[in-house]
Amino acid sequence: MDFGLTSGQREIRDQAARFADEEVAPQAAELDQEDRVPFETLETLSGMGFMGLCVPEEYGGAGSDFVSYALMLEEVSRADAGLGATLAVHTSAGTLPILTYGTEDQKTRWVPPLARGEKIGCFALTEPETGSDASAIQTRAERVDGGYRLSGHKQWITNGRIAGTMTVFARVEDKGVDKGVTAFVTSMDAEGVSFGKHAKKLGVISATTDDVILDNVFVPEEDRLGEEGKGLSVALGTLDPGRIGVAAQALGISEVAFRYATDYSTRRETFGKPIAEHQAVAFKLADMQTRTRAARLLTYEAAWMRDRGERVTEAGARAKLYASETANEVTHEALQVLGGRGYMKDESPVERHYRDARVTEIYEGTSEIQRLVISRGILREHAESLQLQDGAVVG
Taking Cα atoms as reference points, which of 138, 140, 142 lies closest to residue 151?
Answer: 140
User: What residue type is 180 in one-letter code?
Assistant: G
Residue 148, classed as helix, strand or coil, is: strand
Tell me the C-alpha distance between 200 and 332, whole Å: 22
Catalytic residue among 364, 368, 381, 384: 364
DSSP, collapsed to helix, strand or coil, labels residue 197 as: strand
Question: CA-CA distance, 210 to 213, in Å (whole number)?
Answer: 10
CA 357/CA 103 separation, integer angstroms: 37
Q: Measure Cα distances from 69 to 51, 54, 100, 305 in Å.
A: 10, 6, 17, 13
Cα dist from 283 to 276, 280, 287, 360, 395, whole Å: 9, 6, 6, 25, 55
Element (H, E) at 276: none
**Length of the chain, please?**
395
Strand stretches in the chain, DSSP E = 121-124, 140-144, 147-158, 165-174, 177-187, 193-198, 209-220, 224-225, 269-270, 273-274
Residue 22 annotated to the active site: no
Q: Classify 54 as helix, strand or coil.
A: coil
Contact of 374 with 318, CB cutoff 8 Å: yes
Distance, CA of 230 to CA of 182 (rounded, Å): 6
Can you state the angle between helices 66-79 and 279-307, rounded to 10 degrees? Answer: 150
C-beta of residue 150 within 8 angstroms of C-beta of residue 182: no
> Which amino acids are annotated catalytic?
364
